[in-house]
Structure 1
Amino acid sequence: MQISDVFTIEKFRDKCFGPTELTTELFNKILVIEKGRGELELAYVPHTISRGKVYLIGKDKRVVFGENKISGYLLQFDDSFWQKTPLSANNCKEVLFNRSIDSFTLIPDKQHFDHLLELLELTYCDFELPDYSNKPDVLAAYLKVIIIKTANIHFLLKADTSSYDSKLFERFVALVSEKGNYLHKVDDHADALGISTRKLSDVCKSKGKNAKKMILQHLVNEAKKDLQFTSRSIKEIAGQLHFANPYQFSNFFKNQTGYSPNQYRDQFVKIGI
């Protein structure tokens, strides 16, 4: 069996990939874009190809190119070749080429991306050499390092995203507390934070929360506080919470608590609070 039957690495310059050029079903693929632009469809999801992106495509995954002219590296390997790599890299490979996930797209920072390019260039140069006795072992060692490096990039990006999302959630909580009296919609809070409504909803969901419910709960809590501890009229409370009129506020409060504002206030009057 030839090495190229189980492992290949291609260095390409200003290449135009055909629509279904990456159709080898048994190969896992790492596509690294050094320069150029184009379109790519992975598992029916469109992607814009651009410099600095790394695509990790598991075997049996559908790949279709649109218009493109790109430079970079394409590394492909099957599972039998992967068995040559040390067991210590197995977890990294399983994460990157999880059978339940169609693909990963990574956008590393310049330092990590340049280091990955160096590793790929070394691997490519060795691959192009005439065959020698332990060439498969050398290429497997390179593959192990590339996989571990790529997995580290993935985990770093995931950690950065998690940290960013945590800070974003904290800003949202502070915003609801500060301006929740008149920002009643998720859209309004997303605009104030400079992010999309979908992003805000996803961040809250990752924390086990619902953005809309958090906003509504703030309004309910503020209303309860005024009804319980102040003598403000229903009209005044409605105005303070930026409802269009007392009727809108009363309907909102009853929908959320099961009591009208007056019924809620009467409970505390009766027990002397």
Structure 2
Amino acid sequence: MKWKEYGTIQTDKEIQDSFAVCYHEQATVGMEDACRIVYNRIFLLSEAQGTLVVDDTTWPLKGNELFLLAKGQVFAFAPGSVITGYELSFGDCFWEKAPASASNCKAVLFNNAAANQQLSVHPADERELILLFQALLREYHLGDYINKPDALAAYLKIIMIKIANIQAALVSGTDSYESQLFRQFTGLVSKHYSSTHEVAAYADMLGVTARRLTDLCKQCGGRGAKDIINGQLIAEAKRALQFSAKAVKEIAFQLNFSTPDQFSHFFKKNTGVSANEFRERFVKIGR
């Protein structure tokens, strides 16, 4: 299924306080228009049938699974799709309310969401997550009080940590030290991607060799360290192309490429389309 089969690509509706959670029970969620999201999303689906399309990837829905969608991605449920489960939306500004100790978990899961788009969930893990989502939903529907956003952010932090643990177990089952080092690396990439693209620089920050870092990333994340860095750069480039009017030249220098041509070659090599073609496709459609 391709986006041309949908009428238009609409932009996310504004969410009050950049945070929302809801429960769908046997809900028909087929969409005539695709949605370009400005809020990160988590779907915890206990039961599901149909299809979810994210960017150009099609995911058959089967239930007992998580879907993680990052700001800037385009998604749609195919007509006739039915889901039972939770939908959680949050903006980056709301995430900043969560304790800093959880920042690496978000980096692992959402900085290159395409690598973690769908996660199968073991029944025991699903039961634990459902309890957390139930508690979060109850808190969300309470009347407003002074520290309510902080309470919601605390639940979000716990949910993010639990999902990061599920992701780590699915990918590798590595010990806690290796997982922690991997998360430190992805956290560093999210902070320094615009100043350095070199594996060796991140290895120095972590006190390991570049070879060790690459091996660890393959073990814990299924991809090499360079691929993770490139994934962050592509994600940030896409966001800039979609949500700003900056020229390609300006984006290239913002991401620390030596020349616009170097950036253009990098972008096309990793996405299959030029930066201008990408902007035309995802920004002008539906306007």
**Both structures adopt the same fold (TM-score exceeding 0.5):** yes
Select which of 117, 120, 140 maps to 2:130: 117
Residue in 2 that maps onto 1:128: 141
The residue that corresponds to 1:90 in the other structure is 103
Distance 1:31 1:25, change over 3 A: same
Q: How far apart, in 1, do the equivalents of 2:144 and 2:103 lie?
A: 26
Unmatched runs of 5 consecutive residues or more in structure 1:
162-205, 209-273
Paired residue for 1:158, among 168, 171, 192? Answer: 171
SS of the residue aligned with 1:23? strand
What are the within-5 Å matches in structure 2 for residues 54-65 of structure 1?
A: 54-65=66-77
Shift in Å, 1:73: 0.2
Determine whether 1:71 maps to 2:84: yes
Q: 1:26, 1:99 → 2: CA distance?
A: 15
1:31 CA displacement: 0.5
Say if 1:40 and 1:81 are closer, same or farther in 2 by CA, change over 3 A. same
> What is the aligned-residue identity percentage?
34
Q: CA deviation digits over 1:193-236, x for unaligned, max 9?
A: xxxxxxxxxxxxx8x9xxxxxxxxxxxxxxxxxxxxxxxxxxxx
> For the residues of structure 2 that align with 1:17 and 1:130, how far apart are their CA atoms?
28
Give secondary structure in 2 for the equivalent of 1:70. Answer: strand
Q: CA deviation at 1:35?
A: 1.4
Residue of structure 2 aligned with 1:8, choices 20, 33, 57: 20
For structure 2, the residue ranges without an aligned partner over 5 or more in a row are 1-13, 175-221, 225-287
CA deviation digits over 1:243-273, x for unaligned, max 9?
xxxxxxxxxxxxxxxxxxxxxxxxxxxxxxx
The CA distance in 2 between the partners of 1:131 and 1:93, in whole Å, is: 26
In the TM superposition, structure 1's runs of 4+ consecutive aligned residues that sit over 4 Å from their partners are: none
Shift of 1:13: 0.6
Amino acid paired to 1:106? L
Contact 2:65 2:118 in 1 (8 A): yes
Q: Which has the larger radius of gyration?
A: 1
1:33 to 1:21, Cα distance in 2 relative to 1, 3 A: farther
Counterpart-to-counterpart distance in 2, 1:7 and 1:73? 14
- Kindly report which structure 2 residues correspond to 1:1-273, keeping only aligned pairs within 5 A, or say none: 4-19=16-31, 23=35, 25-66=37-78, 67-99=80-112, 101=114, 103-160=116-173
CA-to-aligned-CA distance 1:135-179 (integer Å, 9 cap, x gap): 100000000000000000000111249xxxxxxxxxxxxxxxxxx
Q: CA RMSD in A?
A: 2.8
How many residue pairs were aligned? Answer: 165
- Match of 2:21, SS state, is strand
> 1:20 deviation in Å?
5.9
One-letter amino acid of the counterpart of residue 90, structure 1: S
**What CA distance in whole angstroms lies between the structure 1 residues aligned with 2:126 and 2:30?**
26
